[in-house]
Amino acid sequence: MTEAEGIRLQKVLANAGVASRRVSEQLIVEGRVRVNGTVVTELGTRIDPEKDLVDVDGTAVQLDTTKRYVMLNKPTGVVSTMKDDRGRTDLRRFTREWEERLYNVGRLDADTSGLLVLTNDGELAHVLAHPSFGVTKVYIAKVEGRVTPQTIAKLTRGIELEDGPIAADKARLLDTSGDSSLVELTLHSGRNRIVRRMMAAVGHPVLELVRRQFGPLHLGTLPVGQTRELTKVERGALLTLSRRETDAPPADGVESPASEEQETS
């Protein structure tokens, strides 16, 4: 690229909403901006926003404005597909307000509610959904019976299922009242209905299940059945994760790619 080609970096940052052009210039001079992994301190630097990757203080900046990122709090009774050939309620009703053709990242089974990402960014969707990248998910499960600390320890120590051993990254007992308990599980597994199968294996079948966190995203107070676009900070966190995982070798000892499209709860 010649000096006359491209767009000045400070203008690109300002257009992306990072900061004003003047503040963006200061960020560049202070060495806080990288282009394609290399620190850039020259104010005259020009880049191609369609090809170059930019980050500020290690957080990726979204330059491609054609990409859309949406969070959905999926209700129960909805299948995680854009068109169900069996006539069940699908995700299309939640994407109608956007012109872009959005797709779900991974799946939640019909009986599970919670955080689901909808996007038209195929590369990011692959990183988030594919089990080899080990993106963590946090679930809250209401289960039958009174869960003991010993059971929580067993979940993190590891249990044997019909398709091999599995261990929660973290497990926490949130509450026990009457004949049920609330358990928080953190997993990076992409195996089919893994939370339900794990809890059933330790004698506490799931009554209700919600996914509260997906990678760096938190469901927060988003009501069931509602959507919202990700904030600039959330988009940056997702893109940073995507670029980091794409550059890194896949984690060892994880599920095969076949589990990518399975319902993971």
pLDDT in tens, 176-231: 999 999 999 999 987 889 999 999 999 999 999 999 999 999 999 999 999 999 99
Kindly tell me if the per-residue pLDDT of 18 is higher than 50: yes
Tokens describing residue 129: 């959904």
Q: Look up the pTM and report it.
A: 0.85
Domain 69-261 has CATH 3.30.2350.10: yes
Mean pLDDT, rounded, for 14-26: 94
Give the pLDDT of residue 33.
97
Cα gap 45→57, rounded to integer Å: 18
Residue-range domain boundaries for the chain: 7-60, 69-261
Give the strand pairing for 7-8 and 46-47: antiparallel
Nearest to 18 by CA among 35, 8, 33, 39: 33
Phi, psi for residue 208 in degrees, rounded to 5: -145, 150
- Tell me, what's the pLDDT at 133? 76
- Indicate if 109 belongs to the active site: yes
Choosing from 48, 57, 84, 109, which is the catalytic residue?
109
Q: For residues 18 and 177, give the distance between their C-alpha atoms in angstroms, rounded to a whole number.
A: 47
> In the CATH scheme, what is the code of domain 7-60?
3.10.290.10
